[in-house]
Amino acid sequence: GGGGGGRAGGCHKNTVNKQPMSYQSTFDRSIRQPEAFWEEQAKAVSWFRFPEKILFKDEKGLDRWYGGGRLNTAWLCLDYHVEAGRGEQVAIHYDSPTTGVKRSITYRELLDEVSRFAGVLKSFGVEKGDRVVIYMPMVPQTVVAMLACARLGAVHSVVFGGFAPRELAIRIDDAKPKLLITSGGGIEISKVIEYMPIVNLAWEEATHKPDACIVLQRDFVPVPLVPGRDHDWNELMAKAEPAAHVEVEATDPLYILYTSGTTGKPKGVVRDNGGYAVALKWSMANIYGVQPGDVYWAASDVGWVVGHSYIIYGPLLHGCTTILYEGKPVRTPDAGAFWRVIEEYKVNVLFTAPTAIRAIKKEDPEGSLRHQYDLNSLRYLFLAGERCDVATLEWSQQLLGKPVIDHWWQTESGWPMLANSVGLELLPVKPGSVSKPVCGFDIQVLDATGRQMPAGEEGIVVVKLPLPPGNLPDLWNDTVRFKQSYLDPYPGYFFSGDGGYIDADGYVYITGRIDDIINVAGHRLSTAAMEEVVAAHPAVAECAVIGVHDNMKGEVPMGFVVLKAGINIGEEQLEKELVALVREKVGPVAFFKQAIVVKRLPKTRSGKILRKIMRNMADGKEFTMPSTIEDASVLSELEDTMREHQ
């Protein structure tokens, strides 16, 4: 490993932020001169070797940032701050209302744990480029495991705890990890989620077998270890030797994060080291308006991109204190939970999903619990992960008396693409809009033929290439799918999969996915994955799963099934079986609760199921009859069935 010296180009302050600049001029420059702009921003990061080529094409012809740059992301998150005198500052406040545990970990302590766990990984032969799958709850050891991978230049792939064995197995087979790191389990409000049975099933189902499994025991769910396979986290740590960081190339992968695609197979979104570090550091100051030392809380889960970028890497790269909250907005113990955490840790910025606010509003409609707490430290509430309805935005604005900022991004981007960049300039908030493009993102709205839509008219949201640093450079082991999914639909642009429009003032509105991905309580899920499971039931001839509007969760999946001829099964019984199947195969987080038997599904003459029409129909929206429909009478049949089930 490198010694940590010789940091060329190591300008330690973000010079760009000495004087606040207006949004528009900064944005314009980022689009006109992307290389100059991102070269300047790169100086805020302490490189071991400053990049030679700011933007270049790799051997596959894909855009890459910071060629020749060398760094280590974990070093930047930890060693850098300890060396700079931030060692005694709290890096993580771990707050777990579900287990009653609180623990504050300083930068120095976190560095020590991460170095030792890196030593553990090394003792299992983990090296730069090796993959490690992490299936863990919201505990500090999860952060330690991720940063320890980063310290060695190994590639972590965190799998969200609410996914079922099959989903975990699919990810293991794709990432081919050397190790699996897991835990006895987690707690969902008051229900213990045992991880080991899930891990055991996934281990069996996966073709690829990791060398070993490291298990973090938790008091409330002690698990027997499988001899020869499992190793106890604490025992390993007790005898661990700290490992030094390993210098990596800016373009080397930091992690793979699987996300739902439009087929049952998830996409392995790859994140690099250099572009990500620069983008996140820039975003902390310029989008979220926080400074080193501030307290930043993303109330999400480490299993999602929000957790990667804004529970861990963003705040730590920027020298902030982050909050790791193992609880919910409600029922842990009540709808004042978020306000309690803000007061207790003097949180400056909170980031959560609108569904969390709706959950609070449902239990405490007047927001009376908020008045039991001192929320003076809070500057902004940021919302993302799903569309934010105006009522939720306005309710939270009134409740908090602070700006509430809806912003838009995806696992693919890794950081916001549309936002009110309050660190640059707080623009007027327009409810319903996700504000304006973030620096570096040339957002446009096109029609199906690739022509730019006039102001106010809905089309497909795309980003003109090149994407700024931090975005996915590729999919893991699947460049063909990367190109097909994102680059081929509109040559010269990145295809986001979302629809939307831009108003006359340049504010952007996101209207929702135009593909078969849905957002259930801020969790991104693939209806295709659910369809695969439903279709495998012996009674089902064919099926469609669509996302329908839900007041609380934003969207929920709903299945429509056509029975095989001659099958005799009660509709209620079938629904019960399908619900159980999806829960078992995809996971509880899919929240698949409804399956309706229909005679036929609406299709085009070429046999494509008209899911969009079904969706509009279920939501009671207007729709136009496509000329390609095979038999229009299916629609009135379907409408009747839906009415019966309302």
Q: Does 513 bind ligand AMP (CB under 6 A)?
A: yes
- Given ligand COA, ligand AMP, none, residue 259, with its beta carbon under 5 to 8 Å by kind, binds ligand AMP
Q: What residues does 559 pair with on adjacent strands?
A: 545, 595
In the window 308-347, what residues touch ligand COA (CB under 6 A)? Answer: 328-330
Question: Around Cβ 478, how many Cβ atoms within 10 Å?
Answer: 16
Q: What are the Cα distances from residue 405, in Å, to 288, 352, 390, 470, 538? A: 10, 11, 12, 21, 47
Q: How far is the CB of 462 from ligand AMP (least distance, A)?
A: 12
Q: Which residue stretch of 297-305, 428-436, 447-455, 596-604 sits at the interface with ligand COA (rule: CB under 6 A)?
A: 297-305
Q: Compute how many other C-beta atoms are within 10 angstroms of the C-beta atom of residue 465.
A: 14
* 544, interface contact from ligand COA, ligand AMP, none, CB < 5-8 Å by kind: none
Contact between 259 and ligand COA (CB under 6 A)?
A: no
Q: Is 304 in the site for ligand COA (CB under 6 A)?
A: yes
Return the range that interacts with ligand COA (CB under 6 A); candidates 176-184, 255-263, 351-359, 525-533. 351-359
Q: Pick from ligand COA, ligand AMP, none: which does 353 bind, CB < 5 to 8 A by kind?
A: ligand COA
Residues in contact with ligand AMP, total (CB under 6 A)?
A: 21
* Residues in Cβ contact with 577 at an 8 Å cutoff, skipping those fewer than 6 apart: 537
Least distance (Å) between residue 523 CB and ligand AMP? 7
CB of 550 to ligand AMP, least distance (A): 15
> Which does residue 410 bind out of ligand COA, ligand AMP, none, counting CB within 5 to 8 angstroms by kind?
ligand AMP
Measured in degrees and rounded to the nearest 5, phi and psi for residue 478 equal -155, 65
CB of 437 to ligand AMP, least distance (A): 13
Residue spans of alpha helices (H) in 287-353: 305-307, 314-317, 337-345
Write the binding mask 507 to 546 for ligand COA: x where contact by CB under 6 A, - elsewhere.
--------------xxx-----------------------
- Per-residue binding string, ligand COA, 206-225, x by CB under 6 A, is --------------------
DSSP H helices, 462-516, are 479-482
Answer yes or no: are the C-beta atoms of 198 and 165 closer than 8 Å. yes
- Residue 232 sits at φ, ψ, to 5 deg, of -80, 125
Question: By rule CB under 6 A, what string of x and - marks binding of each residue 399-438 to ligand AMP?
Answer: -------xxxxxx----------------------x----
The amino acid occupying position 229 is R
Cβ contact 274:66 at 8 Å = yes
Select 184 or 437, whichever has its Cβ closest to ligand AMP: 437
Choose between 218 and 524: whose C-beta lies nearer to ligand AMP: 524
Q: Which pair of structure tokens corresponds to residue 590? A: 């899919």
Q: What minimum distance in Å lies between the beta carbon of 499 and ligand COA?
A: 20
Pull the structure tokens for residue 242: 């700290």
Decide: 624 and 618 in contact? Cβ < 8 Å.
no
Q: Residue 570: which residues within 8 A CB-CB, separation 6 or more? A: none
Q: Which of 305, 556, 574, 635 binds ligand AMP (CB under 6 A)?
A: 305
**Of 55 and 335, which has the nearer Cβ to ligand COA?**
335
CA nearest to 642, candidates 598, 601, 610, 612: 598
**CA-to-CA dists, residue 595 to 317, 456, 531, 557, 642, angstroms:** 46, 37, 11, 9, 11
> Which CB atom, from 188 or from 498, has the smaller least distance to ligand AMP?
498
Q: Is 497 in the site for ligand AMP (CB under 6 A)?
A: yes
420 contacts ligand COA (rule: CB under 6 A)? no
Indicate which single residue of 240, 356, 404, 546 sits in contact with ligand COA (rule: CB under 6 A): 356
Instruction: State the Cα–Cα distance between residues 563 and 573, nearest whole angstrom.
Output: 13
- How many whole angstroms separate alpha carbon 420 and alpha carbon 434? 7
Interface with ligand COA, residue 300, by CB under 6 A: yes
Q: Are 72 and 48 in contact (CB under 8 A)?
A: yes
Q: How far is CA 224 from CA 118, 232, 302, in A?
A: 25, 10, 25
Give the position of tokens 């640059």.
Answer: 424
Which part of the chain contacts ligand COA (CB under 6 A), choosing from 37-45, 123-131, 269-277, 586-594? 586-594
Pick 216 or 400: Cβ nearer ligand AMP? 400
Give the x-and-dash track for 163-202 against ligand COA (CB under 6 A).
-----------------------x-x----x---------
Contact 329, 360 (CB under 8 A): yes
Question: Rounded distance, CA 469 to CA 238, Å?
Answer: 39
The phi and psi torsions of 199 (rounded to 5 degrees) equal -60, -45
Q: Which residues bind ligand AMP (CB under 6 A)?
A: 259, 304-305, 384-388, 406-411, 434, 497-498, 510, 513, 519, 524
Q: Which residues bind ligand COA (CB under 6 A)?
A: 161-162, 186, 188, 193, 300-301, 304, 306, 328-330, 352-353, 355-356, 359, 384-385, 521-523, 588-589, 591
